[in-house]
Amino acid sequence: MTALASFTVKTSRKDEWINITREVQKITADSGIIEGICLVFVPHTTAVVTVNENADPDVPRDVSLALAAVSPDRKEFRHSEGNSAAHVKTSLVGPSVALIVAGGALLLGTWQGIWFNEYDGPRTRTIFVRVLGESA
């Protein structure tokens, strides 16, 4: 069995972190799939989805600082839109995460959350979720 869902988020700025764990957990529960895989995919080139700590807000802040150091704005960039630093961060982090569904729920660590990261906001962004596996 398989289920496909999507939802949108409105971002307000660059380097914004939006916790989407609750939305993805609800889509997984509503799918009726008990054992399987949940794929979260972002169809954008300057935004990503990632799994990281959801307890200390300094973690997202520190990751953003580190990514800014790895991919700063550079005068040598040619892309006319002027957001090449955001495109580089997107390539580094990637557009998707695959999660295990066990017992009808996402198998996440105690400190893990699913985060949408905006690198070029404000924008309205789409998140696709495909849940695949065995239903009850």
Q: How far apart are CA 136 and CA 31, in angstroms?
A: 11
* Residue nearer to Zn ion on the CB measure, 31 or 83: 83
Q: How many residues does the chain have?
A: 136
90 binds Zn ion (CB under 5 A): no
CB of residue 60 vs Zn ion: minimum separation in angstroms? Answer: 23
Contacts of residue 126, defined as CB under 8 A and 6 or more positions apart, other chains included, come to 6, 7, 8, 42, 43, 44
CB of residue 78 vs Zn ion: minimum separation in angstroms? Answer: 11
Contacts of residue 120, defined as CB under 8 A and 6 or more positions apart, other chains included, come to 14, 46, 47, 83, 86
**Could you give the string, one character per residue 49-88, with x where binding to Zn ion holds by CB under 5 A and - elsewhere?**
--------------------------------x-x-----
* Residue nearer to Zn ion on the CB measure, 56 or 81: 81
Contact 101, 38 (CB under 8 A): yes
Residue nearest to Zn ion (CB): 81
* Residue nearer to Zn ion on the CB measure, 20 or 85: 85
Run of H or E residues at 47: strand 47-53
CB of residue 121 vs Zn ion: minimum separation in angstroms? Answer: 13
Residues that bind Zn ion (CB under 5 A): 81, 83
